[in-house]
Structure 1
Amino acid sequence: MNASAATGDLVCFAHGKESGPWGLKITRLAELARRSGFEVMSPDYRQTQDPDERVAMLLALRPRARRLVLAGSSMGGYVSAMACATLQPQALFLMAPALYFPGWDAEPQGIPPLSCIVHGWHDDVVPPERSLRFAQRHRAELHLIDAEHTLNARIELIAMLFAGLLDRVRAD
């Protein structure tokens, strides 16, 4: 798919620091997105561990769509949030987003009103308080769940929340 060509509806995923473009969560959520009529892209960012380089890579792809949804996990959550000002998505879905770390702690801009965050209470990589801070600043929907950082043990709950977000995007 040519990412710069406008499409109808598109979900653009951003994977975490230690995962890949088609890990468990992204594969499950991509399946849901496709069933809901969205095209899906999940770039491979594994060639760099620098979150700002990953943001630049996403922006260089220039994903465009009539309705664009950015979705990211961990460092991919940072990438997705930081890309909002430029890409202007209709919705943002973040899973345990790695926000507000020293050195990459800028406040994301252009966050869409339709934003949903899922974070585990037992996350020992990214403190849940970071998602609370983001949610408060951007009036985002926040779900704190009984899970660790990967959230994999609660994949069906995450899928349900993501499906609800896609339904709201399509309703607009």
Structure 2
Amino acid sequence: MQKLVIYNHGKDSIPWGEKPLALAEVARRRGYLFLSPDYRDSNDPDARVAKLLSLQISAYETLVLAGSSMGAYVATVAAERLGPAGLFLIAPAFYLPGYALSDFRPGSAEIEVFHGWADEVVPPENAWRFCRAQRATLHMLDGDHRLLSGLPQMTAAFEAFLSRCDQRDSQGDADERL
């Protein structure tokens, strides 16, 4: 089975910073290919969504979308069309001025969100609002917007998250055979 994680970096981030490198290591151990597209050519969240949607990913049976800040927004908006097994979001840039969507319909059963209590870029209330609407798991950490201090907790959670995504897809395959 071909499995893929696509990590979407934030507005002022790089594709292969500390968070994607740590998550990529976990993903590879679990048998996932890990992509981190370079979005630095545009700070327009909708242009980034279009770039993500243009990727050739139809060969993969299991898709997981991950992202930080603007990248979490990009992953969530694209999820409506891509139907991933899961969304793993870090300090998601939800309900902010300049972002076209505020009514999200990601259609994914597995959604896990990490947010910092001291985030001065995206208010913690925004993460709670999204998680409440989606019935998603929310982890509030003692950290700022970058959440680098929470990286050990996030990588451990990502391991369990990918396991649940695998189980979900395995169950879906078994249902299709019936």
Q: Normalising to structure 2: TM-score of the pair?
A: 0.90
Are the equivalent residues in 2 in contact too, given 1:100–1:106 (CA < 8 A)? Answer: yes
> Tell me, what secondary structure is at the counterpart of 2:61?
strand
- The reply on whether 1:93 has 2:95 as its aligned counterpart is no
Letter in 2 for 1:54: R
Percentage identity across paired residues of the two chains: 45
State whether structure 2 residue 114 is matched by structure 1 residue 118: yes
Deviation at 1:62, TM superposition (A): 3.9
2:53 maps to: 59
Q: The residue matched to 2:3 in structure 1 has which SS?
A: strand
Q: Show structure 1 runs of 4+ deviating over 4 A.
A: none
- Stretches of structure 2 lacking an aligned partner (at least 5 in a row): 169-178
Q: Deviations over 1:79-129 (max 9, x none)?
A: 000001111001000000001112314322233011000001110111111
The AA in structure 2 aligned to 1:84 is: A
Query: 1:15 — aligned with what?
Result: 9
Structure 2: distance between partners of 1:99 and 1:111: 16
Task: Choose from 62, 72, 76 the match for 1:77.
Answer: 72
What CA distance in whole angstroms lies between the structure 2 residues aligned with 1:137 and 1:90? Answer: 18
Q: Aligned with 1:71: secondary structure?
A: strand
Q: What 5-or-longer segments of structure 1 have no aligned partner?
A: 1-6
Residue aligned with 1:108, SS? coil
Q: Could you tell me how far apart the structure 1 residues matched to 2:17 and 2:115 are? A: 17
Q: Which residue of 1 aligns with 2:167?
A: 171
Greater radius of gyration (CA): 2
SS at the partner of 2:62?
strand
SS of the aligned residue for 1:46 comes to: coil
The count of corresponding residues between Structure 1 and Structure 2 is 166
Provide the residue aligned with 2:152 in structure 1. 156
Quick one: which of 120, 124, 127 aligns to 2:123?
Answer: 127
Deviations 1:54-73 (A, max 9, x none): 00100011433211000000
Distance 1:107 1:62 in 2: 26
What pairs up with 1:4-43 in 2 under 5 angstroms? 8-43=2-37
Aligned-residue CA RMSD (Å) = 1.1
